[in-house]
A and B are shown apart, each in its own frame.
Chain A
Amino acid sequence: MFEPQIMCFLCKWCTYAGADLAGTSRMKYDPSGINLRVMCSSRIDLQHILYAFRQGADGVFIGGCHPGDCHYVEGNYKTLRRSILFAKMLEDLGISRKRFRLEWISAAEGRKFVQAMNDFTAQIAELGPLNLDKMTLNNQKDFSHE
C-alpha cells in the first residue's frame, strides 16, 4: 500500500505548539508527516516547497497562526498571499495544488492538527505518489544544495 511522505513546516508559536498539544493529549494520527519547526510560517519560500517535492515528498503542509494572532504581527498574511502563488506555480509545474496545504492551527487546537494531518494524508493517499524525485533524479547533481 502507498504510504505518503509529507513534509510539514510548522510555525513555532502556534501550529508546532498545537502539534505538541495533540501529543500531550495522546491523540493518534497518521505518521506520514514529519515536522520542521520554523519561527514563522512566513519563513517558508517556494524553493523549500519545491525542494521537498524533489526530495520525494508527496505533499507539503504549512501550519501558521490564525489571522490576527501572528507573533510577528502579520507574517501569516504574507504566508497566505504567497501560498496562493505557490499553488499556482505548483500547477504550472505539473504538481497538483492539492498536494500543498496551508492551515491556521493555534496552540490550543491539537484536535484540529490531528484532523488536518489525517485529512491531508488521506487526500495525498488518494492522489497517489508524486515521484518527482525519480523523474528528476538524473539532474540531481546539478542541484546546488546537494
Chain B
Amino acid sequence: MKLHYYPGCTLKEKTTNLDESTYAAMKMLGYELVEPENWTCCGAEFPLNEEKIVGLAAPARILRQVEMEGGDKVVTACAFCFNVLKQTHIALLNDPLKQKRINAYLKDDIRIDPVTKERTTDFPEYRGDVQVLHLLEFIQKEIGYEKVRSLIRRDLGNLRAAPYYGCRLLRPKGETGIDEPDDPSIFEEFLESIGIGVVDFPFKQECCGSYLSVSLPDAASEVSYRILRSAKLNGADMVVLSCPLCYYNLDRRQDRIREKFLEFTGMPVLFFTQILAWALGVEAEILGLDQHFFDPRPVLGITDKAEVAS
C-alpha cells in the first residue's frame, strides 16, 4: 500500500537513522512510502504571530503538493515537522482568510526542473483537505495494534522502555496534539503492541530544552538530565522518542550532561521507528544504531555481526 510520507530535512541530513528505520519498519508493515515531489523544509517552527503569515507558505506548499498528487493524508515521523504541518493544516482550515492569503502566494509558485530547465507555473490552490498524521497516530488509527502485534519477530519482553513525548506531539493543547497533554497513552500503547515493557515516568511530557542547547547549553543539559534521570529512576533500559531535536539533546549531548552530572552513567535513546523496526525483525545495520552517542546495541543484545544476522 502506498502512503504519502514527509520526512523533513533533518531526517535526510542528520538523523538519517529515523528516516531509514521508518522506511524499514513501514515496509515490514506492508507500506510503501511515497515522498511528495519537490518537498522543502516545513519551516521548522510554526509562526505564532498573526503577521508572520509567510511562514505558512512552505508547509502549505507541502500539503498542496500532496493534494496535487492525489493524496488525502500525509504521515511524518519527525515530531517537529508533524507539529508544523498539523498546525498549518488547522490554521488554514479554521481561517478562510488565511487560506486565501496563503493561496495567493502558492499560486505564484514557479518550479524549474533542474535537468530540463523547464518552468512550471500556474499551480492550483490548496483546498485544505490533506490530513496530517504522526506515524504513531497512523499506527493507532489505521494499521491497528493487533496487526503490529501479529508481525512482531523479536521478543523484547525483557526490556523496559520509557516513552518520551516531549512537547511537539502533545502541545499546543487542543487540535494539534495526538493525545491528552497531561495524560497521554498513545506512545505507551504503541510500545505495548511491540511487546516491550513500558515505563511510566513523570517527565515524559517535559521539555528537553529545545534550541536552548545553543544559547543556554547548561540550562538545556539540566532539563535533559532530569528527563533521563527520571526515566532511569523508574527502571527504564532506554528512552524512546520521535523528535530529532529531543534526540539531539537527550542522546547526542549526553557528553555534556555527563560532564555536568557526574553520577549520570548514560542511557540509550532510540527513535520509536528504530525499536519498531527491530521488533519487526529488521536487521540492525539498516537502523543506524551506530550513529548514537550512547550505543544502544548492547541493551538490545547486539554484540557482534553474527548475532545480528540471526
| A–B direct contact (CB < 8 Å) | no
A-contacting residues of B (Cβ < 8 Å)? none
